[in-house]
Amino acid sequence: MVTRMFTPLIRANAWQCFTLLAIVTLIPACTGSNASSSHENTSSSRSSQASSQIQVSSAASSTSAIAPSSVQSSSSTAAVSSSASPIGYTDGDFILGMDISYWSEQLDQGAIYIDTDGQEKDLLELLKNHGINFIRLRTFVDPTSPHGYTSTAGGANAGCHGKAQAYNGKEDIVRTAKRIKAAGMGFLLDFHYSDTWADPGKQVIPDAWRNSNSIEALAQQVRLYTMDTLEALRAENALPNMVQIGNESTPGLLVHSATNATDCWGNNSIAHTGPNGAANNNNWGNLATLLKAGIAGVNSVGANIKTLLHIENFHHPDGLEWWVDSALAQGVAFDVLGLSAYEEFQGPASEWRTTMQRISSRYPQLSFSFVEYNPRGRLLNDIMHELPDNRGLGTFFWEPTESGFWGNALFTQQGNRYQANPEDFAVYDQIVEDYGLRKLP
């Protein structure tokens, strides 16, 4: 395993108090303190560590690369539970979800996945065998841009070796989404609205949008890009069930500009001096304009697609409520508040149930989801499942194949072979039994 940590980006006063992800559109209030969070850049280092593991495993394997579009489903080898239904995911089913956004990269490098029964299976079939019914994918505007996710900006020392494909770009997402929908699973699309990772430490404006001279021009870019991506998915009968407008948007949306020092993760970016969507009391109107534009883009393509806002300061309920209250006061209309709940960053876990009860009572019009977590799968699913009126939609484990300081993978990796850990997947098997859930066919 290769671990790379990066120097945290110093964030603007208005959002220095934020930390990692969650699915409830709330966010902690920033007070004017200059004390920055010790984990403000955790998402970028988490992502860079996971990606560098993929590259290391590629070098360690002699397996020939397999293009995502050419991989055949191994459903014939998947042992389908006797409780499986012939119907795929339907709205209202409790979500047992996972984010597998590295999947296409892994497949290109020859990855194979072994279930707890010792059988090699397509990853989706393996996950369904343990009750997983929903997949989350991130998407970048142009990952091939000069400081994009697949670029070499920052060089090898930053873990930016460059990538052969535009992973997490539109075409990559469409290919993967088609497989998700063909498997009968639910699909959450996570728009970062950046060419690389967006998180509490940076929200870098896409290179092609950087010269927008007004917030209205930026909002137009957001709306048209959202529509274009969703239209491409609709053309392949692969529309998402839910769309996330921004990722860990506690500090805002479209806030920073890349510099000559910016790497492929977005580190070393600076506050944009032009129109931007920074989250502070003086600029919330601009942020609301951008959020509304993304939501309008979704609604224009699919009126039944749920919209979700994601913030990460679940450990800071006052700040979370400031963020959500501000969004609602500006007339931002969304369906789901997505939250992050990493024990490493949003702990202690002993406070999570109380915090969730507090915010669900404050916002009776919203549904909720933990869109990123690791570990504590049983606790977080129980907290969601306990919410009244089915307002706790479910959870998403972040990257079951990747380990790091944020938590351990659900698979043991040897080269490009990923072996499902029986003790980890037993947690989901038990949730399916205890909640009376059905496994997808």
In a 3-state reduction of DSSP, which class is residue 390? helix
Which residues touch 86 (CB under 8 Å, ≥6 apart)? 441
Q: What local confidence, expressed as pLDDT, does residue 87 receive?
A: 86
Provide the percentage of residues in the chain whose pLDDT is more than 90.
Answer: 80
Instruction: Please check whether residue 25 is in contact with residue 366, taking contact to mean a CB–CB distance below 8 angstroms.
Output: yes
Residue 391 lies in a domain: yes
Q: What local confidence, expressed as pLDDT, does residue 52 receive?
A: 55
* Poorest-pLDDT segment among 36-50, 301-315, 334-348: 36-50
Q: What is the pTM of this model?
A: 0.85
User: Residue 45's pLDDT band (boundaries 50, 70, 90)?
Assistant: low
Taking the CA of residue 137 as centre, how many other CA atoms within 13 Å lie in the half-sphere pointing to its CB?
Answer: 31
Residue 387: Cβ-neighbour burial (10 angstroms; 0-12, 13-18, 19+): middle
Q: Alpha-carbon dihedral of residues 310, 191, 392, 127, nearest 10 degrees?
A: -130
163 has pLDDT over 80: yes
The better pLDDT of the pair 177, 63 is held by 177
* Poorest-pLDDT segment among 18-27, 82-91, 419-428: 18-27
Residue 42 lies in a domain: yes
Instruction: Please check whether residue 336 is in contact with residue 366, taking contact to mean a CB–CB distance below 8 angstroms.
Output: yes
Work out the mean pLDDT of the chain and round it to a whole number.
86
Residue 249 lies in a domain: yes
Mean local confidence (pLDDT), 396-418: 97
Mean local confidence (pLDDT), 79-107: 83
Separation of CA 94 from chain center? 18
In total, how many domains does the chain have? 1
Mean local confidence (pLDDT), 184-189: 98
Instruction: Please check whether residue 314 is in contact with residue 340, taking contact to mean a CB–CB distance below 8 angstroms.
Output: yes
Q: CA-CA distance, 122 to 107, in Å (whole number)?
A: 10
Which residues touch 20 (CB under 8 Å, ≥6 apart)? 39, 42, 43, 200, 248, 312, 313, 314, 340, 341, 342, 345, 346, 372
Q: What local confidence, expressed as pLDDT, does residue 47 receive?
A: 60
Residue 344 lies in a domain: yes
Residue 441 lies in a domain: no
Report the DSSP beta bridge partners of residue 186.
134
CATH number for the domain that contains residue 21: 3.20.20.80
Q: CA-CA distance, 123 to 75, in Å (whole number)?
A: 10
Residue 382 lies in a domain: yes
The better pLDDT of the pair 41, 430 is held by 430
Q: What local confidence, expressed as pLDDT, does residue 14 receive?
A: 37
Domain that residue 160 falls in: 13-435
Provide the percentage of residues in the chain whose pLDDT is more than 70.
Answer: 80
Residue 135 lies in a domain: yes
Q: CA-CA distance, 90 to 92, in Å (whole number)?
A: 6
3-state secondary structure 231-275: HHHHHCCCCCCEEEECCCCCCEECCEECCCCCCCCCCCCEECCCC
Residue 1 lies in a domain: no
Q: What local confidence, expressed as pLDDT, does residue 46 receive?
A: 62
Q: CA-CA distance, 174 to 183, in Å (whole number)?
A: 14
